[in-house]
Copies of this chain bind each other. A is one copy, B any other.
Amino acid sequence: MKHLHDFGESEEMYLKTIAELASKQDPIPVTWVAERLGISTVSASEMIHRLENRRLLEHTPYKGVCLTDEGRRRANTIIRRQRLWECFLTDKLAITWDHVHDLACRLEHATDSMVTEALADYLGHPTTCPHGNPIPSTEGEMPPPEGIPLGDLTPGEGGVILRIHPVSALLLRHLAEKRIEPGKEIEVREIAPFDGPQSILIGDEMHVLGREVAAHIMIQPNTETLGSRKLMEILG
């Protein structure tokens, strides 16, 4: 007999979370997954074993997890749904930027491919979500995300905000308050010693951002202000 419950929502969130973390490092420590999902490492470890048995990921002990091709395809399907809903919520329902991430994170699990594709049609097949992140294709392929973290820039360097790496609503609210959003010019002015917070200039306002926050703001660097060493890194 089939149950009333979906019992696939957890699985989907694991895959999505791993895919999102994978753009920062690969393989992903199980600890990171647990922390992001707000559960114990034991529970995460259990579930990861189950997903490994089903060939959706591979776990190398003491290293971390990597999605298989099928796992990544599935993850990107969920991400596609979330980002399309984000577009709908902002563009059509006029819900603010910092709210749509969490709202879409609930809808994504209740959406099949028929609705997804009809929605994509209706929205005119957008290529990025309101936070600037690319929307995967119907086939579950995602263009490589662009930009480098603001946190990697040094004083004097700056550029245009390309996207906000997907993360909790709290961070988005924090950024929304300071009017830090995709498309805007931003410049690093100062970095406190001992890997401390960055002082940044956006519009005509100065703000101090913690390293964790700065790591999620992805920049298209302004090449003029950029040190040549970093230029090499980016191009080569």
Contact = CB atoms under 8 A, between A and B. Distances in A.
A122 B10 contact: no
B93 A119 contact: yes
Copies of this protein in the complex: 2
Given A93-B121, A106-B111, 14 more contacts: A1-B39, A4-B9, A4-B10, A4-B39, A5-B9, A89-B115, A93-B115, A93-B118, A93-B122, A95-B115, A99-B114, A103-B115, A106-B110, A107-B107
B109 A110 contact: yes
Interface residues of A, number: 30
27 contacts: A1-B38, A1-B39, A2-B38, A4-B9, A4-B10, A4-B13, A4-B37, A4-B39, A5-B5, A5-B9, A5-B10, A89-B115, A89-B118, A93-B118, A93-B119, A93-B121, A94-B118, A95-B115, A99-B114, A103-B114, A106-B111, A106-B112, A107-B107, A107-B110, A107-B115, A109-B110, A110-B110
4 closest A-B pairs (Cβ-Cβ)? A93-B118, A106-B110, A110-B110, A107-B110
A99 B111 CA distance: 13
A1 to B, nearest CB: 7
A92 interface: yes
Interface in A1-58: 1-2, 4-6, 9-10, 13, 37-39
A111 B92 CA distance: 16
Interface string A87-98: 001001111000
A231 to B, nearest CB: 43
Nearest to A112: B103
Contact of A111 (B5, B107, B122): B107
Nearest to A13: B4
Contacts of A114: 95, 99, 103
A99 to B, nearest CB: 7
